[in-house]
Amino acid sequence: MCRDWRLWKPSRAQIPPEGDWLIWLFLGGRGAGKTRAGAEWVRGVVEGGAQRIALVAPTFNDVREVMIEGPSGLMNIGPEAGRPRYEASRKRVVWPGGAVGHAFSAEDADGLRGPQFDFAWGDEVAAWSNPQRVIDTLRMGLRLGDHPRLMLTTTPRPIPALKRLVKQAGVELSHQPTADNAANLAPGFLDAMNAAYGGSALGRQEIEGILIDDPPGALWTRAQVEACFAETVPDLDRIVVAVDPPASGGPRSDE
């Protein structure tokens, strides 16, 4: 099997952005290829000389089962001779060249206070119990090397930490819907998800990977509007059409 990531023709969203960024934020739908992009980025920085990498997920089990040992995890990508080994007792992976990836649970932000790193990868940020605190603590530990950087991969949710990130200077945003990675998913998965959730806020979030939020002060939220949707049109006694005319007082304001 070909282990060269470039020959798999990754999408543009899965390729690290150019420029002098500090944080790469990858938003994507379920199965959009976020984990593979994160793992390949880590493999790339290790091959470029990185020595200490932080690996953060919602729990320690998620770090091991998804980021390290998962099908797209660090131990299953790249040439076999260059893959890391996992040291369960020390919660870390060690590459043949000496680079070390340390596993952390987002449930314990204080666990990130002491160590320092040159790179870090955080997965499923929107599922972290206290994402802002973990991100802040993690960034303060990125103080090694010439250009420490952080990559964050997640299916989006409109949480304050994520909304704050997308507006920060030094943050590069990538986006990929599930459909862009359909060739690597089980046949029928995407059709089933679209049939069940297509057109809903949940579908736009979990399948299209879109960060959805209601404007401040909205009189009708997305949830309220979607609660009024119906699969079939019932028999109606009357139809009411609401008209919102211009309030400028001009010649057409009463039209």
Q: pLDDT per residue over 61-109, tens digit each? A: 999 999 999 999 999 999 999 999 999 999 999 999 999 999 999 999 9
CA–CA separation, 205 and 203 (whole Å): 5
Q: In the chain, where does DSSP find H-type helix?
A: 34-47, 60-62, 131-140, 160-165, 189-197, 201-206, 222-226
Query: 88-102, 154-168, 218-232 — which is least confidently predicted?
Result: 218-232
CA–CA separation, 64 and 108 (whole Å): 16
SS3 percent helix, strand, coil of the chain, rounded to 5, is 35, 15, 50
Looking at residues 117-122, what average pLDDT do you find?
97
Degrees (nearest 5) of the Cα angle 196, 201, 207?
Answer: 60
Looking at residues 224-250, what average pLDDT do you find?
77
Whether 3 and 81 have beta carbons less than 8 Å apart is answered as no
Q: How many of the other CB atoms lie within 10 Å of CB of 112?
A: 25
| CATH number corresponding to 5-197 | 3.40.50.300
Distant-in-sequence, close-in-space partners of 146: CB < 8 Å, separation ≥ 6: none
Q: Where are the beta strands (DSSP E) in 8-146?
A: 23-28, 52-57, 85-87, 92-94, 100-105, 119-123
Q: Measuring CA to CA, how many Å separate 67 from each of 1, 51, 101, 178?
A: 21, 18, 11, 19
Q: Is the pLDDT of residue 1 over 50?
A: no
Arithmetic mean of pLDDT over the chain: 88
Amino acid code (one letter) for 144: L
Whether 119 and 150 have beta carbons less than 8 Å apart is answered as yes
Q: pLDDT per residue over 165-203, tens digit each? A: 998 999 999 999 888 888 888 888 888 888 888 878 778
pLDDT reported for residue 208: 82
CA–CA separation, 55 and 47 (whole Å): 17
Q: Which residues pair with 87 in a beta bridge?
A: 92
CA–CA separation, 130 and 125 (whole Å): 9
pLDDT reported for residue 246: 67
Domain ranges of the chain: 5-197
pLDDT reported for residue 184: 83
Q: Is the pLDDT of residue 211 over 90?
A: no
pLDDT reported for residue 2: 47
Degrees (nearest 5) of the Cα angle 49, 51, 54?
Answer: 125
More confident residue, 2 or 66: 66
